[in-house]
């Protein structure tokens, strides 16, 4: 059994994210992980979905650290499968973060992935992502992406996180407002336009066409929360030209509790095509998962009728129990743009 070797948790969430990011980077490179940064990003993002629903229950970090490499891969696949069911709308963007798990099983890569998972858990990943206010406060994936990317690659795309003081100030200034319905891409507002509006109302629309991992949007959400407004009442449009940033942004929008009306595109933010493409791929993913869900429901019914037991490890049982205990938040107000949200439920995975 792995022992509790986790260290003191920094009280500052940004510092905590940095500590985790550096430990992950070190574990990845010490294990000769190579250039496929979707692997460490996918491990950390996947484990960030676990949460810590029950302080008296088994410690999911300990359970995860005691798995062998195949068990660890199975855990990640399970976490991403659950994410797919819960957030099919975000699937097109997050695909690179789990697709490698389905590729040819490479023992060396899996070992490096497991080392990354252990490093993140030892540095208190679940203490950051499993506590709601801390999870809503930090851009862990943005920090990790910035650390993993070589300096030259970052310079090329201008990928530097906006300091938290600046995003908070912009959030305070923005007082994001109701910008009306979007019938087409042209009508969507930019974040700078949103700054001019007086107050956040249900249905307000907030957009960042070069969002990176969404740091600026997090600033707006934090500002809304400080004023007692739930960010989930708004529509959030994010885009980045870089697949890794867009993928992390999509997971972030879920981790930060931005609600079900989230569009994350991956294209040139100087053009408007990304908006149409993002809406279409989002709808296609929702339709596909809804179909699969129907099929799975039928299979489950057959299993039940035949009295076949569902095999479950203690970790899977913990995840399923914690999921069942999560209260379901109320549905958001009606929207013309988002007509498929009934296909999934709002809220956290576990």
> Residues touching ligand SAM: how many (CB under 6 A)?
21
Among 41, 84, 216, 255, binds ligand SAM (CB under 6 A): 216
The residue (of 45 and 84) whose beta carbon lies closer to ligand SAM is 45
Given candidates 90, 94, 143, 211, which one binds ligand SAM under the rule CB under 6 A?
211
Nearer to ligand SAM, 86 or 247 (CB): 247
Would you say 32 or 160 has its CB closer to ligand SAM? 160
The nearest distance, CB 242 to ligand SAM, in angstroms, is: 4
Note whether 243 and 99 are within 8 A (CB): no
Tell me if 153 contacts ligand SAM by CB under 6 A. no
Work out whether 245 is an interface residue with ligand SAM (CB under 6 A). yes
Q: In what order do the strands lie in the sheet with 262-265?
A: 205-208, 235-239, 262-265
- Quick one: which segment of 31-39, 154-162, 178-186, 275-283 binds ligand SAM (CB under 6 A)? 154-162
Which of these, 49, 58, 119, lies nearest to 83 by C-alpha position? Answer: 49
Quick check: 157 binds ligand SAM (CB under 6 A)? Answer: yes
Q: For residues 149 and 40, is the Cβ–Cβ distance under 8 A?
A: no
- Nearer of residues 54 and 273 to ligand SAM, judged by Cβ: 273
Q: Is 98 exposed, middle or buried (0-12, 13-18, 19+ CB in 10 A)?
A: buried
Q: Which is nearer to ligand SAM, 31 or 252 (CB)?
A: 252
Residue 158 in the binding site for ligand SAM (CB under 6 A): yes
Residue 332 · residue 233 · CB < 8 Å: yes
**Which range, of 68-76, 115-123, 159-167, 282-290, touches ligand SAM by CB under 6 A?**
159-167
In angstroms, rounded to a whole number, what is the distance separating the alpha carbons of residues 118 and 327? 30
Which window, 96-104, 241-249, 284-292, 301-309, contacts ligand SAM (CB under 6 A)?
A: 241-249
Is 346 a binder of ligand SAM (CB under 6 A)?
Answer: no
Nearer to ligand SAM, 172 or 341 (CB): 172
CB of 238 to ligand SAM, least distance (A): 9
Whichever of 53 and 143 has its CB closer to ligand SAM, that residue is 143
CB under 8 Å, gap of 24 or more: what pairs does 162-169 form? 162/215, 162/216, 162/219, 164/14, 164/215, 164/219, 166/219, 167/215, 167/216, 167/218, 167/219, 167/220, 167/222, 168/219, 168/222, 168/223, 169/219
58: left (phi over 0), alpha (psi -120 to 50) or beta: beta
Query: Taking the C-alpha atoms of 104, 20, 79 and 210 in order, what is their torsion angle to the nearest 10 degrees?
Result: -90
Q: Residue 243 corresponds to which tokens in the numbers above? A: 């697949």
Closest to ligand SAM by CB, 235 or 242: 242
Q: How far is the CB of 184 from ligand SAM (least distance, A)?
A: 19
Q: Is 290 in the site for ligand SAM (CB under 6 A)?
A: no
Which residues 6+ apart lie within 8 Å of 171 measured at CB?
219, 220, 221, 222, 223, 224
Which residue number places its CB atom closest to ligand SAM? 212
Q: What is the smallest separation between the CB atom of 321 and ligand SAM, expressed in angstroms? A: 37
Q: Is 241 in the site for ligand SAM (CB under 6 A)?
A: yes
Q: Is 137 near ligand SAM (CB under 6 A)?
A: no
269 makes contact with ligand SAM (CB under 6 A) = yes
Give the span between the Cα atoms of 345 and 279, in whole angstroms: 19
Residue 74 tokens read as 């199975």
106, two tokens: 């490479």
Exposure string of 300-327, with b = 16+ CB inside 10 Å and e = fewer, is eeeeeeeeeeeeeeebeebbeebbeeee
Q: For the CB of residue 264, give the shortest distance to ligand SAM in the complex, in Å.
A: 12
- The only residue of 31, 93, 240, 251 in contact with ligand SAM, by rule CB under 6 A: 240
Site for ligand SAM, rule CB under 6 A: 157-162, 208-212, 215-216, 239-242, 245, 268-270
């Amino acid at each position: 059994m792995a022992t509790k070797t986790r260290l003191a948790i920094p009280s500052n969430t940004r510092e905590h994210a940095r500590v985790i990011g550096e430990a992950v980077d070190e574990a990845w490179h010490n294990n000769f992980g190579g250039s496929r940064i979707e692997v460490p990003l996918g491990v950390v993002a996947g484990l960030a979905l676990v949460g810590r629903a029950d302080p008296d229950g088994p410690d999911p970090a300990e359970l995860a650290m005691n798995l062998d490499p195949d068990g660890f891969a199975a855990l990640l696949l399970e976490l991403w499968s659950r994410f797919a069911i819960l957030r099919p709308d975000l699937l097109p963007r997050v695909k690179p973060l789990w697709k490698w798990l389905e590729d040819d099983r490479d023992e060396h890569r899996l070992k490096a992935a497991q080392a990354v998972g252990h490093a993140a858990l030892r540095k208190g990943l679940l203490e950051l992502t499993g506590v709601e206010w801390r999870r809503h406060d930090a851009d862990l994936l943005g920090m990790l992406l910035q650390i993993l990317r070589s300096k030259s690659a970052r310079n090329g795309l201008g990928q530097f996180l906006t300091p938290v003081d600046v995003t908070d100030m912009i959030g305070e200034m923005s007082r994001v407002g109701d910008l009306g319905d979007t019938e087409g891409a042209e009508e969507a507002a930019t974040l700078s336009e949103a700054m001019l509006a007086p107050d956040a109302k249900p249905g307000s629309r907030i957009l960042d066409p070069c969002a990176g991992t969404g740091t600026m949007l997090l600033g707006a959400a934090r500002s809304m929360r400080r004023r007692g407004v739930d960010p989930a009442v708004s529509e959030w449009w994010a885009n980045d030209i870089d697949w890794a940033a867009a993928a992390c942004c999509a997971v972030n929008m879920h981790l930060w509790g931005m609600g079900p009306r989230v569009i994350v595109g991956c294209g040139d933010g100087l053009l408007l095509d990304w908006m149409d493409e993002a809406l279409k791929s989002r709808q296609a993913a929702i339709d596909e998962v809804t179909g699969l869900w129907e099929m799975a429901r039928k299979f489950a019914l057959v299993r039940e009728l035949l009295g076949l037991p569902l095999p479950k490890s203690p970790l899977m049982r913990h995840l399923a129990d914690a999921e069942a205990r999560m209260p379901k938040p109320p549905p958001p107000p009606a929207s013309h743009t988002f007509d498929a949200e009934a296909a999934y439920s709002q809220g956290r995975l576990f």
